[in-house]
Chain A
Amino acid sequence: MVVLAQRPGYYGRFGGRFVAETLVPALDELSAAFEQIVRGESFQQEWRSLLASYVGRPTPLGQAHHLAREVDPNGAFLSHLWLKREDLCHTGAHKINNALGQVLLARAMGKSRVIAETGAGQHGVATATACALFGLPCEVYMGAEDVARQAPNVGRMHLLGAKVVPVESGSRTLKDAMNEALRDWVTNVRTTYYCIGSAAGPHPYPEIVATLQSVIGEEARAQCLARGGLPDAAIACVGGGSNAIGLFRAFVQDEGVALFGVEAAGEGVATGKHAATLGAGRVGVLHGSKSYLLCDADGQIQEAHSISAGLDYPGVGPEHAWLKETGRALYLSATDDEALQAVRRVTRTEGILPALETAHAFARIEDVARGLAEDLGRPVSILVGVSGRGDKDLATLLRRLS
């Protein structure tokens, strides 16, 4: 199976560049810079060397024996459970892979200021960190609701010297932060680099972010091969889709590796209070690209709901829409409660406190393994993208799990 994007900036019929005219030349400039700089040798050398010395890459591939035995005591359907440990990255999540790369790109493009949007605050922290490292001023837009529920990350951004701008409009979460970042960018486009945190937004952002996050899957694939072979499935949580696409891309051509994304079902897809964009949304245009999104029949974007701020987004990156449409990846969902139970389970059995976002992926391991084992007639091995650690979620966890 060959899966290639047909039109530049498009993944099948998804993607594109739906932005105000003012931004089109900036996106052209960014596309050109991406091709010349990011794909160029000196950028790759500097970025790779920082990934090693600063981020702590390669991140380990660990085996979760105890969790596997808790899920499947007799080894009837789950033979191996592999964890790709992005939670061990500097700043606590995969977001730094992308932020560091984009801030390097901003510097190479001669931009004097960096802005970002953030939901859980992980991308905000990652961008603020990269900006601190390179001495660039940084402003992070964050929904007022998320400022309240991710307080530790707000404090971290302040310490890193970034300005955090609470966004009071709309649902006061990630989508509104992105609107506000776009408004800033359209106003200051000549001097400002907009560092988008997920594999979403107008072309070339989905491609930039996926390229930078692909380090996750490249490493994981090599690590799996070195430890005995490719997994039967890879599974990751999906907000905008950056950690998932970063994991998936390396395996897309491996037909024996099934790909599963897990979205946030919030209080349950049937309640309408969820963020299962691919599972329950429709095709539309939001934040510059055509993809699945949550909107009503009049085209108004609906609010997403999830206990995890990083998945609380009514859109999703266009490449996932296409992987869904081609059937190459399957998208499932997990509720708030299932994610909470998964946090408890993973923490107790493995001594790893996963982010609430990541916990959504853990929550579907059993179903995925059972289903796949039935299809294949043998126990299966599963690779989980552990996108981040849960320290930032402590307040929520203590409140909801006590």
Chain B
Amino acid sequence: MTRLARALSRRKALIAYLCVGDPSVEESVALAHACIRAGADVLELGVPFSDPSADGPAIARASQRAIARGGGLDATLRVAEAIRADEPDAGIVLFGYYNPLFVRGERRAVREAAEAGVDALLVVDLPLEESGPLRAAAAEAGMGVVPLLAPTSRDERVVAVRRASAGGGMPFVYYVSLTGVTGSADVDARAAGGRAAALRAELGLPVVVGFGIDSREKALETARAADGVVAGTALVRAIESGADPAARLAAVEKLVRELRAGVDEA
């Protein structure tokens, strides 16, 4: 069993997204540790991208701040390495857009990520049809690639994911809770959780739900049926509104604990 599979099987999973480099690369390490301390099982380390067209305004702003502070693929890998040194059990997923990986060269990017202790890659603008080269490179390095499914994905796309998963290398599936960008408010948490459960039954893989999970209640509602929930924008907002490092750390810990309580209650 891979580390990520173990992290997802211990309990209903809480996955915390951070935009690495916001507000600084060093602080991202501290914030990531805080997430794990407060109950996150898996970290999604966001590689900031200049043109985050699948993200809402909060993560788009965070990405701009992060790039201005030296964020990017290299910085994210450094942060992964620093976290891995202290956290042998946490799942670490590199989360981002395709261009930084493509420009680095997929094989090299995957190798560097593996060396930094990353368990899997999730690339928001790389649908299954285009992901062949990355999945091949990842398979060589024993690295997972996480596919996404959305409310608009019809049966044939679910079948395509199932076929592709036969070769291994898919630690879990990320179900996008709504048609929209990250941070949208109007998620139907119960329905999204239900869809995740149906997908799990069909795919035989853990299915986690992300987009719009920002409270204990939504975490609870979603996690009733799903294998886990992802919190992203809510954490980014907590960081954005913290006046200094201590305040940001406290806000992130508090939010993660709340979400953890919701997930545990499910």
Interface residues of A in 167-207 (CB under 8 A from B): 169-170, 175-176, 178-179, 182-183, 186-190
User: Could you say which residues of chain A place their CB within 8 Å of the CB of B184?
Assistant: 187
User: Could you say which residues of chain A place their CB within 8 Å of the CB of B98?
Assistant: 18, 285
Q: Count residues on chain B whose CB falls below 8 Å from chain A CBs.
A: 43
Decide yes or no whether B264 CB sits under 8 A from chain A: no
User: Could you say which residues of chain A place their CB within 8 Å of the CB of B100?
Assistant: 298-300
Most chain A CB within 10 A, of B98, B101, B130, is at B130
The answer on a CB contact under 8 Å between B99 and A295 is yes
The answer on a CB contact under 8 Å between A186 and B130 is no
The answer on a CB contact under 8 Å between B103 and A282 is yes
User: Could you say which residues of chain A place their CB within 8 Å of the CB of B150?
Assistant: 20-22
The answer on a CB contact under 8 Å between B179 and A187 is yes
The answer on a CB contact under 8 Å between B153 and A25 is yes
User: Could you say which residues of chain A place their CB within 8 Å of the CB of B74?
Assistant: 298
The answer on a CB contact under 8 Å between A21 and B180 is no
Decide yes or no whether A64 CB sits under 8 A from chain B: no
The answer on a CB contact under 8 Å between B102 and A170 is no
Decide yes or no whether B202 CB sits under 8 A from chain A: no
Q: How does the 8 Å CB contact mask read for B43-82 relative to A, with 1 for contact and 0 for none?
A: 0000001111111110011001001000011100000000
User: Could you say which residues of chain B place their CB within 8 Å of the CB of A20?
Assistant: 53-54, 124-125, 127, 148, 150, 176
User: Could you say which residues of chain A place their CB within 8 Å of the CB of B103?
Assistant: 282, 284, 295, 297-299
Q: Which residue of A lies closest to B148 (CB)?
A: A21
**A190 to B180 Cα, complex, angstroms:** 11
**A297 to B151 Cα, complex, angstroms:** 35
User: Could you say which residues of chain A place their CB within 8 Å of the CB of B57?
Assistant: 169
Q: With A169-B60, A182-B53 known to touch, is A301 a contact of B176 (CB < 8 Å)?
A: no
User: Could you say which residues of chain A place their CB within 8 Å of the CB of B67?
Assistant: 300
Decide yes or no whether B94 CB sits under 8 A from chain A: no
**Distance (Å) between the CB of B109 and the closest chain A CB?**
9
The answer on a CB contact under 8 Å between A286 and B51 is yes
The answer on a CB contact under 8 Å between B54 and A284 is no
The answer on a CB contact under 8 Å between A21 and B176 is yes
Contact of A285 among B52, B99, B153 (CB under 8 A): B99
Interface residues of B in 92-128 (CB under 8 A from A): 98-104, 124-127
The answer on a CB contact under 8 Å between A299 and B73 is yes
Decide yes or no whether A288 CB sits under 8 A from chain B: yes
Decide yes or no whether B154 CB sits under 8 A from chain A: yes
Contact of B153 among A21, A290, A298 (CB under 8 A): A21
Q: With A22-B152, A24-B153, A286-B99 known to touch, is A300 a contact of B179 (CB < 8 Å)?
A: no
**A94 to B38 Cα, complex, angstroms:** 58
**A17 to B125 Cα, complex, angstroms:** 9
User: Could you say which residues of chain A place their CB within 8 Å of the CB of B61?
Assistant: 169
The answer on a CB contact under 8 Å between A186 and B99 is no
Decide yes or no whether A69 CB sits under 8 A from chain B: no
Q: With A18-B98, A285-B99 known to touch, is A186 a contact of B181 (CB < 8 Å)?
A: yes
The answer on a CB contact under 8 Å between A183 and B181 is yes
Q: Which residue of B lies closest to A18 (CB)?
A: B125
Interface residues of B in 124-155 (CB under 8 A from A): 124-127, 129-130, 147-154
Interface residues of A in 317-342 (CB under 8 A from B): none
Interface residues of A in 251-310 (CB under 8 A from B): 282, 284-288, 290, 293, 295, 297-301
User: Could you say which residues of chain B place their CB within 8 Å of the CB of A295?
Assistant: 50, 99, 103
Decide yes or no whether B157 CB sits under 8 A from chain A: yes
**A186 to B176 Cα, complex, angstroms:** 12
The answer on a CB contact under 8 Å between B157 and A25 is yes
User: Could you say which residues of chain A place their CB within 8 Å of the CB of B126?
Assistant: 18
User: Could you say which residues of chain A place their CB within 8 Å of the CB of B176?
Assistant: 20-22
**A284 to B130 Cα, complex, angstroms:** 13
User: Could you say which residues of chain A place their CB within 8 Å of the CB of B157?
Assistant: 21, 24-25
17 contacts between A and B (CB under 8 A): A20-B53, A21-B152, A22-B152, A24-B153, A25-B157, A169-B64, A179-B60, A183-B55, A188-B179, A190-B179, A285-B125, A287-B51, A287-B53, A295-B103, A298-B74, A298-B100, A299-B102
13 additional A-B pairs beyond A18-B125, A186-B180, A187-B181, beta carbons within 8 Å, are A17-B127, A18-B126, A19-B125, A21-B176, A24-B157, A179-B51, A183-B53, A187-B179, A188-B179, A284-B102, A284-B103, A286-B51, A286-B99
Interface residues of B (CB under 8 A from A): 49-57, 60-61, 64, 67, 72-74, 98-104, 124-127, 129-130, 147-154, 157, 176, 179-181, 184
